[in-house]
Structure 1
Amino acid sequence: MDSRPQIVVLAKRPRPGHVKTRLTPPYTPEEAAELAAEALRDTLDAVAATPAAARVLVTDDPGPGAAPDGFEVIAQRGDGLDERLAWAFEDVYARRRLPVLLVGMDTPQITGTLLTRAATALQEHDAVFGPAADGGFWLLGLRRPDPGLLLGVPMSRPDTGAEQLRRLRGRSVATMPLLTDVDDAAAARAVAERAPHTRFAATLARLGAGAAR
């Protein structure tokens, strides 16, 4: 049996006014959506470069062209982010009964090397946790997903990561490096500086850093 995890990207379809709204201002809704689209493409590239039992995009708009070849596409379900995360794990795990490694679309600086490290850790631990600089998390891996590990965790707060880790007490947890989510213009600049090779960084440079707007 394939012991590699399934890798999931949880994402919104990049539409103006619906994604990266904290980038507006200084960027227009259209520019924010463009940055989100490039961040998602960078993320999918990193996942494509990572050995996996399956690669899955869980999206709010699973229409044609949602993901490149090699990805399965399924619809998100649930209301709050905790529900969307919980059911993404549940739905993907149910397909193959294999561990699930999940990332979002807010960290275009991730690489196949970093995800491979997380995937390897998930073969040796019950969970893998990637903390984010804003107090949340950019990656979560579970060998045996359980909705109860996520449902009710308060999201988008400075203590989100700490609360999620509390849910994992009693399990073996491997911790990944701290990363910065692209939440606002300052974070976008910081991410682009750390990952100048990405599509996201190139698009940010073309649009301008936003500081003078």
Structure 2
Amino acid sequence: MKVLLVAKAPVAGQVKTRLGAVIGAEPAAGLAAAALLDTIEACREAGAEGHLSLAGDLRDAVRGGAIAAALDGWTVTPQQGDGFAERLVRAHADAGPGVVVQIGMDTPHVTAAALAEVADGLATHDAVLAPAEDGGWWALGRRDPRVVRHVARVVMSTSETCTDTRHALELAGCTVGRASTMTDVDTVEDADVVAALAPHTRFARAWRSARPRGVA
């Protein structure tokens, strides 16, 4: 199994902007860095070959040195293309054929078992989607990178993104499996949920330090 991690360098003001509006840009970047490190660790625990498709430069990032060290042995390629959908297609092309599980950096509570569930579904399906609670998806598994071209027409970051992604893949003739739903972190409420689910992660520790008192 290969994991394709699509992520941004955690630079203040460029990541976790919704949380940054509440807690500040620098703490939000710290949360993003912690989430990225937790995700890389889960990939290693899964025994996965790692491929990072990166937007931005780790030299400018919070905890950039620690992230670079954690990526030892990984393939790192820059994101290319106009818009997220095109960058996604390019990233999958870079990752190549075979069993690939694509994830982002918004699920720091992801586990090796959750990644394996997505990969296992590819034994009987052309693609596997793992829904997010907000209507998106947190993981996409595939064997052939060409199937991701059909995802490029889907509008991302809506309450229908997962449903629309499934429909696009099925219309293209793909069989699509489903894996477990997870919460991805965009808001204070999301961060509270994820930190409670995985209290020993770097993300949870960072959130306990960054969360403003009195925020509902």
Task: Say yes or no: TM over 0.5.
Answer: yes
Q: Which runs of 5+ in 2 are unaligned?
A: 60-64
CA shift, 1:124, in A, is 3.0
CA, structure 1 residues 176+209, in 2 after alignment: closer, same or farther (shift >3 Å)? farther
Task: Determine the structure 2 residue equivalent to 1:160.
Answer: 161
* Aligned residue runs from structure 1 range 81-120, under 5 A: 81-93=84-96, 97-120=97-120
Structure number having the greater helix percentage: 2
Q: Deviations over 1:37-74 (max 9, x none)?
A: 0000010001111133x211110135565452121111
Question: How much is the aligned-residue C-alpha RMSD, in angstroms?
Answer: 1.8
Q: Which AA in structure 1 matches 2:124?
A: E
Shift in Å, 1:211: 4.2
| Matched residue, 2:132 | 132
Moved more, 137-146 or 54-63: 54-63
Measured at CA, do residues 212 and 148 of structure 1 come closer, stay the same or move farther in structure 2, by a change above 3 Å? closer
Q: Distance in 1 between matches of 2:42 and 2:159?
A: 27
Give the secondary-structure state (helix, strand or coil) at the position aligned to 1:151.
helix
Gaps of 5+ in 1: none
| TM-score, length basis structure 1 | 0.89
In structure 2, C-alpha distance between the alignment counterparts of 1:145 and 1:50, rounded to whole Å: 21
2:50 matches 1:55: yes
Q: For 1:61-115, what per-residue CA distance to the aligned partner results, in whole angstroms no more than 9, with x for missing partners?
A: 355654521211111111211111111111111xxx3232100000001011111
The residue aligned with 1:24 is 20
Say if 1:99 and 1:145, in contact at 8 Å, map to a contact too. no
The answer as to 2:80 corresponding to 1:77 is yes
Indicate the percent of aligned positions where both proteins have the same amino acid: 40
Q: Which moved more, 1:83-92 or 1:26-35?
A: 83-92
Alignment of 1:146-185 (within 5 A): 146=146, 147-169=148-170, 170-185=173-188
- Answer whether contact 1:62 1:74 (CA < 8 A) is retained: no
Normalised to the residue count of structure 2, the TM-score between the two structures is 0.88
Paired with 2:78 and 2:20, the residues of 1 have a C-alpha distance of 27
Report the CA distance shift for 1:63/1:26 in structure 2 as closer, same or farther (over 3 A): closer
Residue 36 of structure 1 aligns to which amino acid in structure 2? A
For 2:34, the equivalent position in structure 1 comes to: 38
